[in-house]
Structure 1
Amino acid sequence: METTMNGAERFFVLSGGPGAGKTTLIEALRANGFATTEEAGRGVIQAEMQSRGNALPWIDPARFAERMFEWELASYRHAERQDGPVFFDRGLPDTLGYLRLEGLGVPILMEDQASRLRYHARIFIAPPWKEIYGQDEERRQSWQLAVRTYEIMAETYVELGYSLVELPRAPVAARVEFIRRQTGF
């Protein structure tokens, strides 16, 4: 495929609930030479904890969502300046899903930008996978909340007109091969 493709053709999102192997898969794609982005949620949490900020999901979920959206928007803009396919560890719609999960309203500006700034029509979604799920300092969600997050992310992407491609519960190398076959890269 040519490098002149627009984002809707070459921007591939990996979404789903926490702890389903998305970031590990993104790291493997990066190791295979693909352009990737970092997950906004974990990045914001790390930055806020380091600076002793309060834009954390367990302190100020609305501010946390704003920071995640800013991060995802910057990732999208950076990807526009790159050639070839880019694999996103979540996308702008994930922030909308997070706000819904938290019972918070979705600002019109966020909804508008998530609708306008498109990714490839097929979104890779990592299903809940209890055998690899784990909590840590930044991932504090229970297994039940991880499953609910998956459900809301799936609903959010479908509502925005995307189709979902479920990632197999398989070793990382098999997931990389699955994505390569699905994308043609």
Structure 2
Amino acid sequence: MQSYTYSGQVILSGCSGGGKSTLLAELARRGCQTVPEPGRRIVAEEQRGEGKALPWVSLEAFARRAVEMSSRDREQFSSADNWVFFDRGLIDAAVALEHATGIAASDTVGKTARYHHQVFLTPPWPEIYETDSERQHRFDEALAEYQRLLATFEQLGYDVIILPKIDVKNRADFVLRRLC
């Protein structure tokens, strides 16, 4: 296993069903610190409870919970000495909130909530896209979300790197090489 020198909070974002969680699992397998997607955690909690903040019930309630959870995640890992990879994060949640309410993502994120300047986006990949109990939106909705995310990351001044459509081991190598 190759050794890397790391430091910072890195967002893995992009199109739903594009392989972010699989990539995160591969990075964790290699010893990297990872933070699972807030959205899936919220959906799992809501499905066990009243379900009022499910994205297909109330996108606004869901997005507000995602903003809170993402903020806590960032704080929890703020003093990490190594790279910390976030499966989505505060900016993704802010984009969802903007879509639901019109509140600008930049207002939700603020100027101090910066991640590493490089953000990695999974592109739309219809060949691997699947719905499940936690991802119920159609591919066209995932594609529209991807376009909103791409535009917002660029607007906020991040260096957006579109991940190649390759197997997960090569994707992880690609990410780690770009950061070193």
TM-score in terms of structure 1 length: 0.89
Identity %: 34
**Partner of 2:102 in structure 1?**
105
1:72 and 2:75 aligned:
no
SS at match of 2:56: coil
The offset of 1:114, in angstroms, is 4.4
Deviation at 1:65, TM superposition (A): 0.7
Q: Does 1:85 align with 2:50?
A: no
CA distance in 2, matches of 1:69, 1:16: 17
C-alpha contact (below 8 Å) 1:135/1:141 kept by paired residues: yes
Contact 1:92–1:114 (CA under 8 A) maintained in structure 2: no
Offset at residue 2 of structure 1 (A): 7.1
TM-align CA RMSD: 1.8
Q: Retained in 1: the 8 A contact 2:11–2:119?
A: yes
Equivalent pairs counted in the alignment come to 177
**Deviation beyond 4 Å, 4+ runs, structure 1:** none
Match of 1:147 among 143, 148, 164: 143
**Structure 2 segments unaligned to the other structure (5+ residues):** none
- Aligned counterparts of 2:110 and 2:176: Cα–Cα separation in 1: 25
Q: Distance in 1 between matches of 2:19 and 2:110?
A: 24
Task: Give the structure 1 partner of residue 160 of structure 2.
Answer: 164
1:32 to 30, 33, 46: 30
Q: Which residue of 2 aligns with 1:23?
A: 21
Amino acid at match of 1:121: H
